[in-house]
């Protein structure tokens, strides 16, 4: 009975964070100097919180629910959602795995809180690097081919509000890579700030 109750509590927390993630995908902000489809949102942050509190699998579930809900509302037939899922997963999974591993390993130590916080930072920094790498892959093989069908590669480059972007190579150097680095670092910072205050709720009101 207790095991069933624990599963229900896990499901409730995953559902709650998924709902927040869906809502946070709606207010989208464009950053000047980048490409029009590269938009900043904080919808990956609840998945990071789920990953830290419950594990990388739960973080992935939050991302998957968000993507599935948004596919019918999107205009890319699920292609944009797939790219977002892959990039977000590249951030969430290593971040959560490194943090969870450190938390279990250092649970008995007196300074486990500071060690865990440091592990969370290290995990998210590694996650940001992997997210940037994944963004290069998804733009090269998923997003750019899709947009090129409608505008051509020259049209895509012309969309960039940045005079430094004049070719496919500069599109990645001055557009895709710095944007995703900024986005990943912003997500990491907000998650790092919010995790401790939200910890009692994320851990079923039992702070860790």
All structural domains of the chain with their residue ranges: 2-202
Asked whether residue 163 carries a pLDDT value surpassing 90, the answer given is no
Picking from 49-53, 121-125, 172-176, 202-206, which range would have the lowest pLDDT averaged per residue? 202-206
Distance of CA 105 to CAs 95, 108, 109, 112, 116, Å?
16, 8, 9, 9, 10
Cβ neighbours around 169 below 10 Å, total: 9
Average pLDDT over every residue of 60-67: 98
Asked whether residue 169 carries a pLDDT value surpassing 60, the answer given is yes
Which run of H or E residues covers position 197? helix 177-202
Are 148 and 120 in contact, with CB atoms under 8 Å apart? Answer: no
Domain 2-202 has CATH 1.10.1760.20: yes
Are 47 and 21 in contact, with CB atoms under 8 Å apart? Answer: yes
Are 50 and 16 in contact, with CB atoms under 8 Å apart? Answer: no
Asked whether residue 194 carries a pLDDT value surpassing 60, the answer given is yes
pLDDT value of residue 208: 41
Are 47 and 62 in contact, with CB atoms under 8 Å apart? Answer: yes
Please name which of 82, 81, 101 lies closest in space to residue 93, comparing C-alpha atoms: 101
What are the pLDDT digits (tens) for 40-52?
A: 899 999 999 999 9
């Amino acid at each position: 009975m207790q095991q069933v109750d624990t599963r229900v509590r896990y499901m409730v927390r995953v559902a709650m964070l998924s709902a927040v993630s869906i809502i946070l995908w709606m207010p989208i902000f464009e950053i000047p100097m980048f490409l029009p489809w590269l938009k900043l949102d904080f919808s990956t942050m609840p998945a990071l919180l789920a990953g830290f509190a419950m594990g990388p699998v739960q973080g992935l579930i939050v991302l998957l629910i968000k993507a599935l809900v948004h596919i019918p509302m999107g205009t890319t037939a699920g292609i944009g959602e797939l790219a977002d899922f892959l990039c977000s997963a590249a951030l969430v999974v290593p971040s959560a795995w490194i943090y969870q591993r450190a938390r279990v390993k250092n649970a008995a130590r007196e300074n486990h809180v500071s060690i865990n916080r440091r592990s969370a930072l290290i995990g998210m920094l590694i996650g940001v690097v992997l997210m940037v790498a994944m963004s290069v892959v998804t733009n090269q093989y998923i997003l750019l081919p899709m947009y090129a069908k409608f505008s051509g590669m020259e049209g895509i480059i012309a969309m960039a509000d940045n005079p430094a972007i004049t070719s496919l190579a500069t599109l990645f150097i001055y557009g895709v890579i710095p944007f995703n680095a900024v986005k990943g670092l912003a997500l990491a910072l907000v998650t790092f700030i919010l995790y401790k205050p939200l910890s009692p709720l994320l851990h079923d009101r039992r702070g860790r």
